[in-house]
Chains A and B, each alone.
Chain A
Amino acid sequence: MNPICRVLDARGLPCPQPVILARKALAEGGFDLLEITVDDPASRENLLKFAAYAKCQVEEERVEGAQTRLRLTPSGASSPQAGEIPTCASAPEAGRAAVVLIAADGIGQGDLDLARLLMRGFLYTLTESEQLPRRVILMNSGVKLAIEGSGSLANLKKLEDRGVEVLSCGTCLEFYKLTDTLAVGGITNMYEIAGHLLEGPTVSIG
Chain B
Amino acid sequence: MKLTSYTRFSGCGAKLGPGVLEQALCGLTQPAYPDLLADFQGGEDAGLFRLGAHSALVQTVDFFPPIVDDPHLFGRIAAANALSDIYAMGARPITALALVCHPLKALGLEPLKAMLAGGLEALTEAGCALLGGHSIEDPEPKLGYAITGLVDPARAWRNNTLRPGGRLILTKPIGTGLVNMALRAECASPESQAAAATAMATLNRVAAEVLSRFSVQACTDVTGFGLAGHAAEMAAGDVCGLAIRMDRVPLLPGVEEYAAMGLIPEGTYRNRDGRLRFLAGDLSSLALDLLFDPQTSGGLLAALPEAEAEPAMAALREAGVQAWIIGDTGGEPGQVRIL
Binary A-proximity of B120-149 (CB < 8 A = 1, otherwise 0): 000000000000000000000000000000
Contact yes or no, B261 A49, CB < 8 A: yes
- Give bound CA distance, A53 to B9, whole Å: 24
B106 and chain A: residue at smallest CB distance = A110
Binary A-proximity of B252-280 (CB < 8 A = 1, otherwise 0): 00000001111111101100000000000
Contact yes or no, A15 B260, CB < 8 A: no
B272 CB to closest chain A CB (Å) equals: 10
User: How many A-B pairs fall under 8 Å by CB?
Assistant: 52
Contact yes or no, A42 B264, CB < 8 A: yes
A45 proximity list for chain B (CB < 8 A): 262, 264, 269
Contact yes or no, B266 A42, CB < 8 A: yes
Question: Secondary structure at chain A's binding surface: helix, strand, loop or mixed?
Answer: helix
B182 and chain A: residue at smallest CB distance = A16
A49 proximity list for chain B (CB < 8 A): 259-262, 264, 285
User: Is A41 part of the contact surface with B, judged by Cβ < 8 Å?
Assistant: yes
Contact yes or no, A50 B266, CB < 8 A: no
The verdict on A46 contacting B185 (CB below 8 Å), with A14-B8, A14-B9 known, is: no
Contact yes or no, A16 B269, CB < 8 A: no
User: Is B181 part of the contact surface with A, judged by Cβ < 8 Å?
Assistant: yes
B285 and chain A: residue at smallest CB distance = A49
B67 CB to closest chain A CB (Å) equals: 14
B316 CB to closest chain A CB (Å) equals: 34
The answer, among B263, B268, B269, B285, for a CB contact under 8 Å with A19, is B263
- Give bound CA distance, A42 to B259, whole Å: 13
Contact yes or no, B105 A15, CB < 8 A: no
User: Is B50 part of the contact surface with A, judged by Cβ < 8 Å?
Assistant: no
A40 proximity list for chain B (CB < 8 A): 266
Contact yes or no, A15 B264, CB < 8 A: yes
B105 and chain A: residue at smallest CB distance = A111
- Give bound CA distance, A58 to B266, whole Å: 21
- Give bound CA distance, A114 to B60, whole Å: 38
Which of A15, A47, A48 has the most chain B CB atoms closer than 10 A to its own CB? A15
- Give bound CA distance, A50 to B187, whole Å: 14
Contact yes or no, A19 B9, CB < 8 A: no
- Give bound CA distance, A46 to B258, whole Å: 11
Contact yes or no, B185 A23, CB < 8 A: yes
Chain A contacts with B in 35-80, Cβ cutoff 8 A: 40-42, 45-53
Q: List 9 A-B contacts (CB under 8 A).
A: A15-B181, A16-B185, A16-B262, A16-B263, A19-B261, A19-B262, A19-B263, A45-B262, A51-B262
Given A23-B185, A47-B262; 20 other pairs, CB 8 A cutoff: A14-B266, A15-B263, A15-B266, A16-B184, A19-B261, A19-B262, A20-B184, A20-B186, A23-B261, A42-B264, A42-B269, A45-B262, A45-B269, A49-B262, A49-B264, A51-B262, A53-B260, A53-B261, A53-B262, A111-B105
